[in-house]
Structure formats: structure tokens, C-alpha cells
Amino acid sequence: MSESNAELARRGYEAAARGDFEAIAALLAVDVRWHGGNPSDPAACHDRGEALAFMRQAAARDGIGELVDVVEVGQKVVVIICPPGRDLAEDGALAANLTTFADGKVVEMVHFPDPEAALAAARSAP
């Protein structure tokens, strides 16, 4: 039995937390996109190499934060995190990545500063 997308996302986040970028690379499509809502933004990642470089820089700088929850909505998964330097008890402390899978690989991650917005986007996606 294959892993669900939520299980894959959780495994990927746990790999990132321990610095296992080989495991993360295996989960990302070659042409994965990662952005904050505008894929053409110069800061957006347009492939696996750029996404891994961004993750490595974040991990080296201040870590990747704490995994709070993983919510599966069809082929999409909302990964809810508490970013580094924030307190879970603090209002507005959480953020999320809306992650889209195809054939067991992450093809897109869209960052949302608010998990509710990510969940709404997941539910309204085709």
C-alpha cells in the first residue's frame, strides 16, 4: 500500500527538520514550483535545485520551524507550521504551505501566512 499525500508531506517535513535533503529531493518533482502566490516572482523557486537551495539556506539560518498539522484535501495537502522564532501560543504565529502532489511527487508549494487561507484555497481548487 502506498503512502497518502499527507504521509508523504509529513515525512518530507520531518526529513527537512533533520537536514536530510536527499530524502526531500526524492519527494520533489524535477520542475517543482514554490512561491508565495506569484510563480513569476524573482524569489520563487522554479525547480528542485532552487527549492533545495532555499530549504538549505533556511535550515542554516534559523531552522524550518515546528510542524503543527498536515491536512489532506484531495490531491493537495496543507502543511501547517509554526515558523522559527514564533511561539505556538501567540496569535497569528502559524503559517502554511499548500502542497500539490502528482504521482507521489510534490509539483507545487504555495506559501500562505495564514493556515485558514491555505485551507480555503485547497478546498476551492479543482
CA pair distance 59, 85, nearest whole angstrom: 13
- What is the predicted pLDDT for the residue at 58? 87
pTM value is: 0.90
What is the pLDDT, as a whole number, of residue 1? 56
Cβ neighbours of residue 104 closer than 8 Å, sequence gap 6 or more: 2, 3, 8
pLDDT of residue 126: 72
Q: Which CATH architecture has domain 5-124?
A: Roll (3.10)
Q: Which residues pair with 82 in a beta bridge?
A: 66
- pLDDT given for residue 36 in this prediction: 92
For position 92, what pLDDT does the model report? 75
- Write out residues in the chain with pLDDT < 50, as ranges: none
Distance between CA atoms of 50 and 73, rounded to whole angstroms? 26
